[in-house]
Amino acid sequence: LREMQPGRYGRIQIHRSGKAYMIVGSGEDEVRMEVTEGIRCSFFQQAVVIDMDKSSYLPLGEIQKHVVVTPDIDAVFS
């Protein structure tokens, strides 16, 4: 992650079955990860953008749902 450039990280692929994957990279370096629903939190969470140059932040809003992104083990071993 330290070598990643700012901006778009990957793309989300949603199948008719409802299964979702996040695709990171391209070609031989492509990594497919499963996207599943996360558990509910009982405390307030907010998404923000942090601007280190200006020492400021911009609130984007309250986080209502969570997702868990994990490597697709089936794809790795096939």
Length of the chain: 78
What is the model's pLDDT at position 36? 92
List all residues 6 or more positions away from 10 whose beta carbon is below 8 Å from its beta carbon: 22, 23, 24, 25
d(CA 7, CA 53): 16
Q: What is the pLDDT of residue 71?
A: 86
Residue 60 token pair = 């984007």
Q: pTM for the complete prediction?
A: 0.61
| Tokens 């992104």 belong to residue | 69
- What pairing do the DSSP bridges indicate for beta strands 31-37 and 20-24? antiparallel
pLDDT score at 27: 77
